[in-house]
Amino acid sequence: MRSFDPFGSLRSLAAIGLLCLCVVGSSAMLAAQDAPKVEPDTLDAIEEEYAKELQAVELKRLDRIAALAEKKTGEEADGLWRYYFETIVAEDLFLKAEARANQLLAKETLPLDIRFMAEVTHVIAEARRGAIDQSIESVRKLFAKVKENAEAAEQIPEHLRLSLVEIYLRTIVDAGKYDMANKAIDLILGESNSDEIKDYLNGEKKSLSRVGKPAPDIKGADVDGRPFDLASYKGKPVLIVFWATWDEISQDQIDELVAVTEEYKEKGLEVVTINVDRLREDGEAPEDLAVEVRRFMIERNLLWKSLICEEGKTDYAEQLGVRYLPSNMLIDKTGVVRHVDRSPNALYEAIKEVCQ
C-alpha cells in the first residue's frame, strides 16, 4: 500500500521547474557564446577595457602571491608580503588590498615595516572611501607609533614613506577637502622626523594656502618672447600646469588635458604651461630650453601659452608654492584660486565646476 505524501506533487513540480531552468540556462549560455562580442568603438573605450583587463590579471597575481605568503614562514613569507605591498603602492590598489591588509594586521607577530605598509594601506583605503575624518585619526596613531619606535622608521625607506604620505594627501586634495588636507599636514609635520617629508608637506601647505585667495600677480614673457600678464585673463577660467622635460608624469598630464580643455574651450578656459627645468642645477640655457619647449608644444599641436620658470621675479614656482610635480592651479573667472594639485580625473571635475 502506497503511503500518502502531501508534498509529492510539489516535489515533482520543483523537479520539472529545475529541469526547465537548466534547459533555459544552457540555452542562454549557448546564445551568449554565439552572440558576437560588441567591440569598443572609440580609442578611450578600448583603453578603458584594456585597463580593466590588466587590473583583473594583476589582482589575480597579487591574490596568488598573498596566498603563497600565508603558506610560508619566516623570511620567505616576509619577502613575499613586502613585494605584495610594494606592488599595491606602485599600482595604487589600496582599496582592493584593504581586506587583506586588515587580516594581516590581526596577526601579533608581524615585522614592523610590513605592519606599517599594511596600516598605510588601510589608512589610504579609508580616505578613498570618503572616511577622511577616520583616516586622519588613523594617521595620527600610525605616525605616533613610528615616532615611538625608531627601529620601525629605519626599516621603511624614506622614499617609500614620502610616496605614501604623498598618495594619502593627494587623495584628500582630490576630494576637494582642503581644510582636512591642512589638518593632515599639520598632524604629520608634528609626528614626522623626516626632513624630506617635512619639506614636501611645507610646500603643499604653501600651495594649499592659495585656495580661496586671489591669484598672485604673474608677469613675464612666454617662450616666444611675447609679454604675459595673468591679470589680463580675468573674466576667464585659467588652468596653470607646471611640468618638466625630465618628468614623464607631468608630460603625460599635459597630454591627458588636451581633450578636456578642448571640450571647455568655448567656455573660455585658458591653459598656461610653466616649465621648471631651469630650477635644476644642471638646467639648460634659457634659449636652448625655449627651443625644446616650443618643439614639445608644436609636436602636440598645443596653442597654450608657455612660460619658463627661472630664478628671481620669474620664479613662478616659488610664487605659487610649487615644490613637486605634477602640480596645477585652477583659477576661476573672478581671478580667485579654486583648486590646486588635482590629479587628472579630479581635475576634470574641477574644470567643469569653474567653467559653469
- Model confidence over 95-131: pLDDT tens digits? 999 999 999 998 878 888 888 889 889 999 999 998 9
Same domain, yes or no, for 51 and 184? Answer: yes
Is residue 204 within 8 A of residue 295, CB to CB? The reply is no
The domain boundary residue, chosen from 208, 240, 267: 208
Residue 54 has pLDDT above 80, yes or no: yes
Let me know if residue 186 belongs to a domain: yes
Give 283's pLDDT tier (boundaries 50, 70, 90). Answer: low
Give the CATH number, domain containing residue 326: 3.40.30.10
Q: Which of 7-21, 199-213, 283-297 has the lowest mean pLDDT?
A: 7-21
- Taking the C-alpha atoms of residue 189 and residue 45, their distance in angstroms, rounded to an integer, is 42
Picking from 153, 176, 208, the residue at the C-terminal end of a domain is 208
Residue 35 is predicted with a pLDDT of 57
What's the CA gap between 301 and 305, in Å, rounded?
A: 12
Asked, for residue 24, whether it belongs to a domain, the answer is no
Same domain, residue pair 204 and 230: no
Any domain includes 281 = yes
94-105 helix and 43-71 helix, angle to the nearest 10 degrees: 10
Is the link from the previous residue into 286 a cis peptide, with omega within 30 of 0?
no
Burial bucket for residue 345 (CB in 10 Å: 0-12, 13-18, 19+): exposed
Tell me the H-state helices in 175-216: 178-191, 195-208
Percent of the chain clearing pLDDT 70 (strictly above): 85
Regarding whether 262 and 141 lie in a shared domain, the answer is: no
Same domain, 134 and 201: yes
Rg value, the chain, Cα: 27
Residue 19 domain-assigned?
no
106 domain-assigned: yes
% of the chain with per-residue pLDDT over 90 = 31
Number of domains in the chain: 2
Same domain, 250 and 204: no
> pLDDT band at residue 183, thresholds of 50, 70 and 90?
very high
- Based on the domain organization, do 308 and 183 belong to the same domain? no
- In this prediction the pTM is 0.73
Average model confidence (pLDDT) for the chain?
82
- Same domain (yes/no): 169, 228: no
In a domain, 38, yes or no: no
List the single range of 286-290, 297-301, 349-353 with lowest mean pLDDT: 286-290
Same domain for 236 and 186, yes or no, is no
Report the half-sphere exposure of 72 (CA within 13 A, side-chain side).
14
- 163 touches 156 (CB < 8 A): no
Per-residue pLDDT at 284 exceeds 60: yes
- DSSP conformation class of 214: B
In a domain, 213, yes or no: no
Structural domain boundaries enclosing 260: 219-354
If asked whether residues 245 and 202 sit together in one domain, one would say no
- Same domain as 251, residue 177: no
Q: Is 5 contained in some domain? A: no
276 and 334 in a single domain? The answer is yes
* Pair (117, 158) in one structural domain: yes
User: CB-based contacts of 315: which residues, under 8 Å, 6+ apart?
Assistant: 279, 309
Among candidate residues 142, 174, 208, the one where a domain is terminated: 208
